[in-house]
Amino acid sequence: MTTREEIARRRTFAIIAHPDAGKTTLTEKLLLFGGAIQTAGAVKSNKIRKSTTSDFMEIEKQRGISVSTSVMAFDYKNYKVNILDTPGHEDFAEDTYRTLSAVDSVIMVIDCVKGVEPQTRKLLEVCRMRNTPVIVFINKLDREGQNPFDLLDEIEKELKIKVRPMTWPIGIGKSFKGVYNLADHTLNLFQGDSKTTVEEILTIDDIHDNRIDKAVGVDFAEQLRVDTDLINGVYDPLNVQTYLDGGISPVFFGSAVNNFGIKELLDCFVDIAPEPRERDTDVGTIKPEDVAFSGFVFKIHANLDPKHRDRIAFLRICSGVFERNKYYFDVLDKKQLRFSNPTAFMAQQKSVIDEAYPGDVIGLYDAGNFKIGDTLTEGAAFQFKGIPSFSPELFRYVTNMDPMKTKQLQKGLEQLTDEGVAQLFTRKADGRRVIGTVGALQFEVIQHRLKSEYNASASFDALNLYKALWISCDDRNKLQQFMLDRSSYIALDKDERPVFLAESAWLLQMAKEKFPEIEFHEKSEF
């Protein structure tokens, strides 16, 4: 197969949702369809020892939530599908934002009972920044939820996107009978007694076929005909190019836990979702077809396997072909690096690969060379854009609880902040270390991982800060003057870049007024 053909069959996407909408369960069922796993993990019951394939960290198994992006790949209908299952919990939003920089499209899961939730809005805003194409899966149709038309109205109003139903539910909750595929006129009947639902599919010539009446009952059949007429009158037909431009979202209905409605979603996804797309760099656009290899690190994970203390950088390939044991140029460190064990992922399971193509996400064993946003090339010196760190919202002082384990704590903090779990600042005035996060749960995760993975104990002491903002100025002398004048509020991030720690909105405003030449940045990429 040629490189061009390999690129054309790649589909790399993220699954995003508000917590508990069924995102990780959907991931499992997609993997089942792709033959990548044989049994799905049980996410609903804490009594069952299994946990889902994509939730592999110990704290994820205990909590039943995803706190770290997982990467999984499988083949389906001659397509190579790369799934990035993201954390839904808002406290881990930054990991999700970075992951969205590494995908070409998104499947958004919405709970039919709860509808559009706050985290769903935030995630879609990030998708809209990049015009990322979105397919919507409305989940949990086997529960008593909202009217499907009301849900579609809410999605259009709250998320400001146009939608086009591709399947339509017949009944909901206890009266859920199945879904009708509006594109190929098939009726997919729901057998609700079994948790491993066996689908019965009827191919129907048209919506007036009386076999529908026999399958779901006269009343449900008539309602389906009324709904179908309304859908075709209200919603524009799906224009694939408009979808690819981020202008319209196809919508599917189903029940992920019952494995129902997933096949229709997957069939449409591989058919219309974009193949790997071009990417912006600081020297222009890189296309997947470009012969020279390039890629960027969007995630780093230490101790993927706690027994081996490994550290893996997740690399999204953007152009050319990655080859095992070939030397590549790390643009940030200006080093030539060679990788003898590049891996493909099935969550915690890894397999060594000899080559990989644009759209693929591979793991590179890392001895501490990489940082998030690093670019690898065949020699060209450029950086990919769009992988920033965001200004944290919560702050704590780090206090070492065991002086005998100072080195372990230092290493743990460095590696965890390299992963992007949190941001580490060092105050210039007293050298105290400050951890900044997006949400409170991250402190618990850091504390847990420091103890279990590095055998280090730390407490996090309260620190009342309003914002941490990166600062810059065209005039180096004025920047130095500002840092001297406001020395008690200045810290350095991990890359030695100056950061202003504002204790209040008023103090920040005063600094801006007194030093108009200084620029304050909420993102590290400026």
Q: What single string gives the DSSP state of each residue in 216-257? A: H-HHHHHHHHHHHHHHHHHSPPP-HHHHHTTSEEEEEE-BTT
Q: Is residue 386 part of a domain?
A: no
Chain centre distance of CA 349? 19
Residues 312 and 370 in one domain: yes
Averaged pLDDT of the chain: 84
Whether pLDDT at 249 is above 90: yes
Please report the pLDDT score of residue 69 as a whole number.
45
Q: Is residue 425 part of a domain?
A: yes
Residues 448 and 306 in one domain: no
The CA-based diameter of the chain, rounded to the nearest angstrom, is: 82
Residues 50 and 172 in one domain: yes
Residues 232 and 290 in one domain: no
Q: Is residue 312 part of a domain?
A: yes
Residues 253 and 230 in one domain: yes
* pLDDT, tens digit (0-9, with 9 covering 90-100), for 88-130: 445 455 677 778 889 999 999 999 999 998 878 878 887 887 8
Residues 425 and 371 in one domain: no
Whether pLDDT at 142 is above 60: yes
Please report the pLDDT score of residue 351 as a whole number.
79
Q: What CATH number is associated with residue 317?
A: 3.40.50.300
Residues 91 and 220 in one domain: yes
Whether pLDDT at 428 is above 60: yes
Q: Is residue 227 part of a domain?
A: yes
Query: How much is the pTM?
Result: 0.78
Most confident segment among 206-215, 292-301, 501-510: 501-510
At residue 507, φ and ψ (nearest 5 deg) are: -65, -40
- The percentage of the chain sitting over the pLDDT mark of 70, rounded to a whole number, equals 87
Residues 199 and 300 in one domain: no
Residues 305 and 235 in one domain: no
**DSSP-based three-state secondary structure for 358:** coil
Please report the pLDDT score of residue 346 as a whole number.
58
Whether pLDDT at 517 is above 60: yes
* pLDDT, tens digit (0-9, with 9 covering 90-100), for 31-59: 887 776 655 443 333 333 344 544 444 54
Q: What CATH number is associated with residue 515?
A: 3.30.70.3280
| Domains of the chain: total | 3
Q: Which domain holds residue 174?
A: 3-272
Please report the pLDDT score of residue 42 as a whole number.
32
Q: CA-CA distance, 468 to 471, in Å (whole number)? A: 10
Confidence of residue 348 (pLDDT cuts 50, 70, 90): very low
Q: Output 393 or 9, whichever has higher pLDDT.
A: 9
Q: Is residue 426 part of a domain?
A: yes
Q: Is residue 207 part of a domain?
A: yes
Residues 306 and 250 in one domain: no
